[in-house]
Amino acid sequence: MSEPSSTTRRRRHVAMAGVLIAMLLAIAHTAVATPPSAVKGGHIQELNCNPYILSGEWILRTDGDNAGQWSLSLTPSSCGRQITRTAEFAHMFDEVVTKFGDSRYFTNPRGMKDQLQCHLDNASGNNTWNLEPHRPDVGLTATKAAQCNPSKATLFTPAG
């Protein structure tokens, strides 16, 4: 067998370079920045959803006690509806903050985080999840007891 010609060798090198470039681009395209809350003990937790939230918008409520109040109406992804691990939830909330936290209406992050966790745990099948910054931060247990919609009255309800 004879040695391949220099032209044939060049074509092989170009083809191999093309494959390597395609692989590098694929890797770069799938790389995701890891927020600090997803790092525990120096180890990055595995992330399963991209995205956790399909869409969201600030809406002015017109119904009942919510009339005149702003609400962040989120549509979670099917993957986002199913997360169970604490690291996954932290990542989900980081995504909410990244996408919507710059709004002037995003004024109660702790209360909204509890509402998000409550929707995930108790109302994951709802089409949208409404996070309402006007609702008081009463903690996760009281938020769940109030069916994700705590009010000022929730603050004075005795535990039991």
Residue-wise pLDDT tens digits, 53-99: 999 999 999 988 889 999 999 999 999 999 988 889 999 999 999 99
Give, for 152, the enclosing helix (H) or strand (E): helix 152-155
**CA–CA gap between residue 159 and residue 141 (Å, rounded):** 10
Confidence of residue 15 (pLDDT cuts 50, 70, 90): low
Residue 127 has pLDDT above 60, yes or no: yes
Domain chopping of the chain, boundaries? 53-155
Residue with more model confidence, 18 or 126: 126
**3-state DSSP percent of the chain in helix, strand and coil, to 5:** 45, 15, 40
Residue 120 near residue 81 (C-beta atoms within 8 A): yes
Residue with more model confidence, 4 or 79: 79
List the single range of 1-10, 16-25, 64-73 with lowest mean pLDDT: 16-25
Confidence of residue 29 (pLDDT cuts 50, 70, 90): very low
Highest mean pLDDT among 15-29, 39-53, 81-95: 81-95
List the single range of 25-29, 96-100, 140-144 with lowest mean pLDDT: 25-29
Count H helices and E strands in the chain, helices first: 5, 5
Phi, psi of 101 (to 5 degrees): -70, -15
Which residue in this structure is represented by tokens 């004075």? 156
Give, for 130, the enclosing helix (H) or strand (E): strand 129-131
Query: What are the CA-CA distances from residue 155 to residues 61, 112, 129 (Å)?
Result: 23, 16, 22
**CA–CA gap between residue 9 and residue 4 (Å, rounded):** 6
What is the residue-averaged pLDDT of the chain?
81
Confidence of residue 155 (pLDDT cuts 50, 70, 90): low
